[in-house]
Chain A
Amino acid sequence: AQSVTQPDIHITVSEGASLELRCNYSYGATPYLFWYVQSPGQGLQLLLKYFSGDTLVQGIKGFEAEFKRSQSSFNLRKPSVHWSDAAEYFCAVGETGGSYIPTFGRGTSLIVHP
């Protein structure tokens, strides 16, 4: 069965600092990988996705992620964090073969200090 591990429950950064959120997955085939962001009281918003091709994926709001097959990782990065980036971030791996059912990690809560 597929699984996703987000090892950091909370991450605290200063505004303007760089950010990296870790995600490791377990899946038997080439995975579909996603990062979502959830702000309080809001639904999940897709930041970026990887299906195939270039392993460095650009997303919205200045985020990027890199798929590393050898490390089973899909870490999310941003060079300079804004206070509005404070939210919950979820990594997910999607089933291939038609259903695209995602399995989500437990999330990482990003706290941004001014």
Chain B
Amino acid sequence: DTGVSQNPRHKITKRGQNVTFRCDPISEHNRLYWYRQTLGQGPEFLTYFQNEAQLEKSRLLSDRFSAERPKGSFSTLEIQRTEQGDSAMYLCASSLGAGDNQETQYFGPGTRLLVL
């Protein structure tokens, strides 16, 4: 068990550019979650997957945000036409997805995005 990994750990981009973040969940975990965390706030849920199916995406912040998990393993979060307000920490978490007592989410270290 190597834990949840996220790449890159840091990203600096210019406003208007597209960025993509990757998350590799714990290998046997079926569920994968994306969150955004801004300074002084708790994580804010964005979207989640059960295997390759995206079960909730209405809370993505705008249509500039999209996520994929094409083979039910790793996931990517893309932000198009970045804005300065997108600067934040983007967190990924995974869980077994097998039932109540299995629903502990394990978080990755996050990708910190700075939009100039």
| B21 proximal to A (CB < 8 A) | no
Stretch at the interface among A11-19, A36-44, A72-80: A36-44
Let me know if B48 and A101 touch, CB within 8 A. Answer: yes
Stretch at the interface among B11-19, B61-69, B74-82, B98-106: B98-106
Chain A interface mostly helix, strand, loop or mixed? Answer: strand
Q: Spell out B's residues near A (CB within 8 Å).
A: 4, 33, 40-45, 48, 55-56, 91, 93, 95, 100-101, 103-110
Contact sample, A vs B, 5 pairs, CB 8 Å cutoff: A4-B42, A44-B43, A44-B107, A101-B45, A107-B41
| A99 proximal to B (CB < 8 A) | yes
Total number of residue pairs linking A and B with CB closer than 8 Å:
52
- 9 A-B pairs with least C-beta separation: A104-B42, A43-B107, A44-B107, A100-B103, A43-B109, A90-B42, A104-B43, A43-B108, A106-B42
Known pairs A100-B103, A106-B42 / 13 extra A-B pairs, C-beta < 8 Å: A32-B100, A36-B107, A42-B109, A45-B107, A46-B104, A46-B106, A99-B56, A100-B95, A101-B33, A102-B43, A103-B45, A104-B43, A106-B40
Interface size on A, residues (CB 8 A): 24
